[in-house]
Amino acid sequence: MSLENLSKIRLLEAHKTDAKQLGKLLLSVESSILDSLETTISNQTRMNAAYLAITQLCMAALWANGYRPSRNRPGHHQTMIQSLVHTVGLDADRVRLLDTFRVKRNAIDYTGDDVDPASVDACVEAVHDLRDHVMAWLRVNCPELIG
């Protein structure tokens, strides 16, 4: 489903961003990634930090395309992740991988499930790959937003 169609069904709203707003978000991404690498904290906290960076990168991609998730609809994390196919041309396999981290993060947050170190490492690796992809897309498609 296109971004326009997601907007028509009110899963996305129009949003205008600028280099200052996007820059603040991208700095926050870097902070979240650094937190996810900190081995002196719990795996749960590291996973949450990596997942936060994923959602922040999804938001950056949406902003750069003139959208943001709806404030009034549930499922905004799923919408943000799945929109990466349209916002930055991420392939479906990588989107599915990111969505597995969404599901795992929900289990951790809402059931107290443990998170294994391999899942944390995979999520951290995925967020690095996503950051590289989003930044490359921004450099080509919206250089005015990244300075």
pLDDT in tens, 16-74: 999 999 999 999 999 999 999 999 999 999 999 999 999 999 999 999 999 999 988 77
pLDDT for the residue numbered 41: 94
pTM of the model: 0.95
- Quote the mean pLDDT of the chain: 94
pLDDT for the residue numbered 76: 85
Q: What is the mean pLDDT of residues 120-139?
A: 98
* Residue 13 backbone dihedrals phi, psi, to 5 degrees: -125, 155
